[in-house]
Amino acid sequence: MSATKFRKAIASQLSRITSCPESQLLGLLGTPKTALNQQFNIPIPRLKSQRDSVQLSNELAHKFQPDSLIQEASAKGPFLHFSVRPTEYIRQTLLQVYNEQSNYGCHTADKSHIVVLDYSSPNIAKPFHAGHLRSTILGNFVKRIHQAMGYPVIGINYLGDWGKQYGLLAVGFEKYGDKALLEKDPIHHLYDVYVKINSDITEDVDRQANEYFRRMEEGDLTVLEQWKRFRDLSISSYKSIYKRLGIEFERYSGESETEPYIQPLYDLLQSKNLINKTADGAWTVDLSSYDLGSPVVRRADGTSLYLTRDLANLILRQSPKKSMYIVGTEQSLYMQQMFKIAELASLATNMHHVSFGRVQGMSTRKGTVVFLQDILDTAQEQMLKNLKENVTKYNELLTLGIQKGGQRLVGQEAANLVADQLGTSAVIVQDLFANRVKNYSFSYDRMTAARGYTGVYLQYTHARMCAIERKTNTQITTDCDFSLLKEKEAFELALAVSQFPDVVKSSYQSMEPCVVVQYLFKLAHTMGQANSTLRIKDVDPSLAEARMLLLWAARTTLANGLKLIGISPLERI
């Protein structure tokens, strides 16, 4: 890695003259700064020497010998600064991007255990609310960043697909169901039916619903067949909506699948002496010594709870070595309880709650009940409207079209696809912009703006670079004269590009997508500056070639970063 190579050069020489271990020094040299005159520094007090830090820093600056990678060491108070040789730094960075291409930024994991991710997880016949939206977008990021770090992952969509409400839904379907509507749009139709039957619930309806669910629990094939149909149709509808977001799950699971594991779970908890039977007959697990209360795992009437099913599901998941649950902050206590019981029962290890804050003001044209499809449709419509405002560009898009999976789309189809991808980019960036735990307010206007901190801006930056690549006759080659890249904008851009592998790592460590997102904005701004200074047209061909490689490397880095957050970069807008 380019930055690593330079860090190593500093650390190994410094280790020789200080007798400090190289690994410790490497740990102190962080991500390269984009500053022009000092890219790395070491705070001397961290070396824990007996000597005065300012004096030692001066002495080390004198002793340090410039070499083929490092140009200078200088002391500033107790800090030791290092500057790299710009041409060599640019060369190493661009060679790395060129060699690694779409893998640039990826790492290899030292351990290769499978990481199980539980995300999105909507409830059948209920709205897909803001929490599900965030879990979906964030979960996709969690998946991709694990992959970028070299871990194999299994993404599970743990559906809310079991419980008394299915009895109610079935009774409702008898009354209000429409087979054709069910086929056409199962998600909306089942929700409509559910709302209708809920509003005219009577004792009789309630009795029928309970009876129906009882038959489901007993494994009655006729009722299960209908339930399975509702579930299958909902899943296939979800699949096509997730596809717009570039999301695919390895598994569709759900609460329904846990039934066979409930009894084995009770047996396990009992064998571990974890069950307390309360006076009224309910079973609890005493977690008070962990400050987590005493959650119920079996009701007095013998039925299971949401918590029971989550725990039983761990048996089905074969006691995963690492799991991430992407669930809102309001469920923190619940998650802690579940993890603790799982740990005490040796059901799983290394469980993490990737939590997130609330979304305010999310609605669609149709009102406040929100479905994922409607959110994406509304964002797409808004983008289409925005695109049409620039008549020339829009007509160009219609005639020239875009490339999609080896195929060329033109006309309205191309415009719709571009608008859809811009719309999803807008939704994703709005969601991942700040720290996860922060709440944010949802705004179509703000998120679809072409300027500011939006996904649309990032897409435009990417597409503009692609246009430059298309229009020039300059080829992308590493066989160019790197010393021609003299301008400060070129050096700054290469430095920004070289930060990406470190950014991926630190975003993984904090599990904060905003680390990547904020980096992408900085990269895009630096690209903008470089683009206006480093002309490619009408300059000497060898200069054009060197500049082209630099811009291409920056564009490739931007594309890799966009993919990491779940956006597919557009080549033409």
Site string for ligand ARG, 256-295 (x = CB under 6 A): ----------------------------------------
Site string for ligand ARG, 39-78 (x = CB under 6 A): ----------------------------------------
Q: Which of 18, 88, 118, 454 binds ligand ARG (CB under 6 A)?
A: 118
Smallest distance, Å, CB 269 to ligand ARG? 18
Q: Which of 158, 371, 508, 519 binds ligand ARG (CB under 6 A)?
A: 158
Question: Can you tell me the distance from the alpha carbon of 474 to that of 212, in angstroms, rounded to the nearest whole number?
Answer: 70
Give me the torsion for CA of 106, 108, 112, 117, rounded to 10°. -10
Smallest distance, Å, CB 324 to ligand ARG? 11
Question: Can you tell me the distance from the alpha carbon of 551 to that of 554, in angstroms, rounded to the nearest whole number?
Answer: 5
Q: Which of 160, 167, 177, 501 binds ligand ARG (CB under 6 A)?
A: 160
Beta carbons of 307 and 297 less than 8 angstroms apart: yes
Q: Which residues pair with 154 in a beta bridge?
A: 116
Question: Can you tell me the distance from the alpha carbon of 74 to that of 83, in angstroms, rounded to the nearest whole number?
Answer: 9
Report the SS3 class of residue 60: helix
Smallest distance, Å, CB 112 to ligand ARG? 24
- Beta strand 251-254 with 153-159 is parallel
530: exposed, middle or buried (C-beta count within 10 Å: 0-12, 13-18, 19+)?
buried
Nearest to ligand ARG of 121, 557 (CB atom): 121
Four-residue CA torsion sign, 466, 469, 472, 473: negative
Question: Can you tell me the distance from the alpha carbon of 226 to that of 244, in angstroms, rounded to the nearest whole number?
Answer: 28
Regarding 121 and contact with ligand ARG (CB under 6 A), the answer is yes
Phi/psi for 254 (5° steps) reads 160, 170
Regarding 155 and contact with ligand ARG (CB under 6 A), the answer is no
Nearest to ligand ARG of 310, 431 (CB atom): 310
The tokens of 395 are what? 């007509």
Nearest to ligand ARG of 325, 552 (CB atom): 325
13: exposed, middle or buried (C-beta count within 10 Å: 0-12, 13-18, 19+)?
buried
Question: Active site includes 62?
Answer: no
Q: Which residues pair with 158 in a beta bridge?
A: 253
Compute how many residues bind ligand ARG; rule: CB under 6 A.
8
First to last CA, the chain: 33
Catalytic residue among 5, 8, 33, 126: 126
Site residues (CB under 6 A) for ligand ARG, limited to 387-426: none
Regarding 373 and contact with ligand ARG (CB under 6 A), the answer is no
Site residues (CB under 6 A) for ligand ARG, limited to 122-141: 123
Q: Which of 325, 339, 457, 552 binds ligand ARG (CB under 6 A)?
A: 325
Beta carbons of 382 and 376 less than 8 angstroms apart: no
Question: By CB under 6 A, which span of 21-29, 117-125, 291-299, 504-512 interacts with ligand ARG?
Answer: 117-125
- Beta strand 440-441 with 359-360 is parallel
Q: Which ranges in 321-454 belong to alpha helices (H)?
A: 332-344, 372-389, 391-400, 411-432, 444-447
Site string for ligand ARG, 96-115 (x = CB under 6 A): --------------------
Smallest distance, Å, CB 239 to ligand ARG? 17
Nearest to ligand ARG of 323, 454 (CB atom): 323
Backbone region of residue 153 per phi and psi (left: phi > 0; alpha: psi in -120 to 50; beta: other values): beta
Regarding 327 and contact with ligand ARG (CB under 6 A), the answer is yes
Site residues (CB under 6 A) for ligand ARG, limited to 421-450: none
Question: Active site includes 393?
Answer: no
Nearest to ligand ARG of 121, 355 (CB atom): 121
Beta carbons of 132 and 532 less than 8 angstroms apart: no
Smallest distance, Å, CB 238 to ligand ARG? 13
Residue type, 290: Y
Question: Can you tell me the distance from the alpha carbon of 382 to that of 273, in angstroms, rounded to the nearest whole number?
Answer: 58
Nearest to ligand ARG of 84, 133 (CB atom): 133
Smallest distance, Å, CB 254 to ligand ARG? 8
Regarding 556 and contact with ligand ARG (CB under 6 A), the answer is no
Smallest distance, Å, CB 158 to ligand ARG? 4
Catalytic residue among 81, 129, 353, 462: 129
SS (H, E, C) 231-292: HHHHHHHHHHHHHHCCCCCCEEEEHHHHHHHHHHHHHHHHHCCCEEECCCCCEEECCHHHCC
Catalytic residue among 132, 146, 189, 322: 132
Nearest to ligand ARG of 129, 555 (CB atom): 129
Residue whose entry in the numeric block shows the structure tokens 């009224």: 280
Residue type, 123: N
Nearest to ligand ARG of 18, 123 (CB atom): 123
Report the SS3 class of residue 386: helix
- Beta strand 115-118 with 153-159 is parallel
Q: Which of 310, 374, 377, 512 binds ligand ARG (CB under 6 A)?
A: 310
Smallest distance, Å, CB 547 to ligand ARG? 49
Question: Active site includes 353?
Answer: no
Nearest to ligand ARG of 257, 489 (CB atom): 257
Nearest to ligand ARG of 290, 306 (CB atom): 306
Active site residues: 126, 129, 132
Footprint on this chain of ligand ARG (rule: CB under 6 A): 118, 121, 123, 158, 160, 310, 325, 327
